[in-house]
Amino acid sequence: MAKQSFFITGTDTDAGKTIVTAGLLAAANQAGKRTMGLKPVSAGCEQTPEGLRNSDALILQETASIKLAYDQVNPIAFEPPIAPHIAAMEENRVLSGDRIAAFCRGAMMQPADFVLVEGAGGWRVPLSYRETMAQIPKSLQIPAIMVVGMKLGCINHALLTAESISRDGVPLAGWIANKVDADMDSYEANRDTIANMLHAPLLAEIPHLENPEPTEVAKYIDIERLISG
């Protein structure tokens, strides 16, 4: 497994997991690290001549320095933009956290320094009636990084997500404040409340960016905090 591997989760579907994940990859690239980005489960894909393709997975595939085949980056893809377990049931398929983790391990056999595995939706998004997305980092035994979509309600979402991560026995390596609401009132007070109530470091603050590129997001990330040691 890579020297540094993390599971990226978010406080909700629109927290900005993908662009933050891509920004982390870009920052690690700039530090000379061999990087890999995986999105093992995606819903909301387009039919292409090559098969189903998810825009978020394509961003990770393009940004990572280790170029994997699409099916390695995103082995489980569904066309409708709905909860993955519902999409799976509509296709008479069964999702298994351990099996998804096995797909990730196969890709992670590459000699990478820094690997990010992005979840779908939030921490408690179901894979089935028995398992949630949390089973993937649990099976891989890697810590989580939580992306907090900074908007009204983010304090509650952040604290509940962090509590769930802790209850599942997954270490929380830190959190990233991503300002999804450009006009958010009392941004600093919300950020400081989360920082003071979480037992995890604030790794980066991403301002509101219009159509951000990974290299632009990377400017706001001190990647040495994650890749050192």
State the CATH number of the domain containing residue 121: 3.40.50.300
What is the span of the domain harbouring residue 214?
4-227
Amino acid (one-letter) located at 78: F
Instruction: List beta partners, residue 148.
Output: 177
| Residue 153 main-chain phi, psi, to 5 deg | 95, -5
Q: What is the pLDDT along the chain (229 residues), one digit of tens a residue?
A: 567 999 999 999 889 999 999 999 999 999 999 999 999 999 999 999 999 999 999 999 999 999 999 999 999 999 999 999 999 999 999 999 999 999 999 999 999 999 999 999 999 999 999 999 999 999 999 999 999 999 999 999 999 999 999 999 999 999 999 999 999 999 999 999 999 999 999 999 999 999 899 999 999 999 988 887 5
The model's pTM = 0.96
Report the Cα–Cα distance between both ends of the chain, in Å, rounded.
15
Tokens representing 68 are 């994997």
156 contacts: CB under 8 Å, gap ≥ 6: none
Q: Into how many domains does the chain fold?
A: 1
- The residues assigned a catalytic role are 39
Instruction: List beta partners, residue 78.
Output: 43
CA–chain centroid gap for 11, Å, is: 11
